[in-house]
Amino acid sequence: MTQAAEIGATGIGKQFGQFTALADITLTIARGEFLTLLGPSGSGKTTFLMVLSGFEAPSSGRLTLNGTDMTDLAAERRGFGMVFQGYALFPHMTAEENIAFPLKVQGRTAAEVKRRVDEMIGMVGLGGHGHKRPSGLSGGQQQRVALARALAYAPPVLLLDEPFSALDKNLRGQMQDEMRRLHRETGTTFVFVTHDQEEALALSSRVAIFDKGRLQQLAPPREVYERPANRFVAEFLGDINILPVKGGRIEGRAVQAPGATGDLAIRPEYMALALAQPEDGNAVAATLNDLTYLGAETRLSLVTSGGVPIVLHQQTSDLPAGLAPGASVWATWAPGHGFLL
C-alpha cells in the first residue's frame, strides 16, 4: 500500500483572465490528514482542489509532494485518487469494471485486479451490486463505486469535489460516517471540498476556509468555530451574535470582554435568557421578537435596546412558562465565551 503523502502549497494563485480565482494560498496538508476546503460558491475552494489534482495549472506559486516539487507534473502522473461531483463513473461499465479500470491502467494481472476489486467492493459495502451499471444504482451506491474506484490503487492522496451534494440528508449522514471509516482504514490523505459547514466540521481534522480566492483560516473544526480568525469566518460558520463594545461597555453597561473596544462575538448556544437583570456576569437588555419551536431546541430572536439583533438557542425544557413576543428580557453570557473580531 502506498504511503499517505504530504502536500505543500506556496503562494498559489490562479487567474482566469481578469478574475482572480485564487490569491496567495500557502498551506501544508499533513500526511494522513482529513482536510476540508470550505467556502461559499465562487470562493476558490474547487479551483484549489483542481490545482492540487493537476487538472488546472496555477498561475503562480509552487506545489510540493512529500517535499518534491510537483507544480508541473501532469494530473495523470500524480497518481492521486479523485471523486468528482456527479461521480463521473464510466456509464458503459459495470461497478466492478469501473473499479477495475485504474488497476488495468496500471497493468496489474487479471488475478490481482479481481482480488483488489472484490476487496474494494467489500470495503465500500457494494456486495451484490458489482455487476450493475451506474444507471442501475442509486445515488448512494454510485457514490460508493466512485470512492472504491478512486481508492482502488491505494493513492497517496484522495481528492473529493463535493461528493455528497446530490444526496439527500439522511444518506449524506450515512456517507459521512463511511468516509470517516474509509479515512481511518486507508490512512490516506483526504482533501475534501464542500460548501456545507456541518459536513466540514463533522468530518475533518482541519478546515481551510476560503472566501474570494483567499484562505481565511486553517484550523481544527473546534477552533474555526469557536475562535474564528475574522468576521467572515465567524459569520460563515453558523449563527453568531455580534455586539459592538466601546470603552469596555455594551450599550452603556460595563462588560468583561477580551478588549475594551471592538466587535464582541458570542455563539447563540453560549448565551442564555434571563427574565431579570443578573447580579453579575455579562448581560444586555433586549426585547423578545420571535420564538421558533424546533423540538428539543427553541430559537429566540431578540433585539437589544440599541437595536442590535441577537439570536439564542435554548433548550425548550429550560424556557420560562408564558414567554411571549414583546417580553423584556436579558441575554447573558459567561465572559470566557465572547471573543473580539
Partner 1 sequence: MTARHIFLLGPLLALLGAAYLLPFLGVMRWSVTLPQPGLGQYVIALTDPLVLGVIWRTFRICLLVTVLAVAAGYVLSLIWVRGGPAARLAAELCILIPFWISVLTRAFGWLALLSNKGILNTWLEHLGFISEPLTLVRNEFGVVVGMVHFLIPFAIFPLASSMRAVDERVLMAARGMGASRTRIFWSVFVPMTRGGILGAALLVFVFGLGFFITPAILGGGRSVMVAELIYLRIFQSPDWGLGAAISVILMVAVGLLLALMMRQVKAATK
Site of interaction with partner 1 (CB under 8 A): 53-55, 75-82, 84-86, 88-92, 101-102, 105-106, 135, 149, 153
Buried b (16+ CB within 10 A) or exposed e, 53-76: bbebebeebebbbeeeebbeeeee
Report the alpha-carbon distance of residue 110 to residue 198 in Å, rounded.
Answer: 42
User: Would you tell me the crossing angle of helices 169-186 and 139-151 to the nearest 10 degrees?
Assistant: 20
Q: What are phi and psi of 222, to 5 degrees?
A: -60, -40
Shortest CB 94 distance to partner 1, Å: 12
- Cβ proximity to partner 1: between 92 and 115 the closer is 92
Shortest CB 210 distance to partner 1, Å: 21
The label of the residue with cell 490562479 reads: 14
Shortest CB 93 distance to partner 1, Å: 8
Report the alpha-carbon distance of residue 279 to residue 32 in Å, rounded.
Answer: 50
- Cβ proximity to partner 1: between 80 and 232 the closer is 80
- Cβ proximity to partner 1: between 152 and 264 the closer is 152
The residue type found at 275 is: L
Shortest CB 325 distance to partner 1, Å: 50
Cell of 272: 442564555
Cell of 31: 500526511
- Cβ proximity to partner 1: between 104 and 246 the closer is 104
Shortest CB 243 distance to partner 1, Å: 46
- Cβ proximity to partner 1: between 50 and 302 the closer is 50
Report the alpha-carbon distance of residue 250 to residue 57 in Å, rounded.
Answer: 50
Report the alpha-carbon distance of residue 236 to residue 38 in Å, rounded.
Answer: 10
Shortest CB 57 distance to partner 1, Å: 14
- Cβ proximity to partner 1: between 194 and 216 the closer is 194
Q: What are phi and psi of 239, to 5 degrees?
A: -80, 150
Shortest CB 63 distance to partner 1, Å: 16
**What strands lie across the sheet with 282-293, from one edge to the other?**
271-274, 328-333, 282-293, 297-304, 309-315
In sequence order, the β-bridge partners of residue 311 are: 301
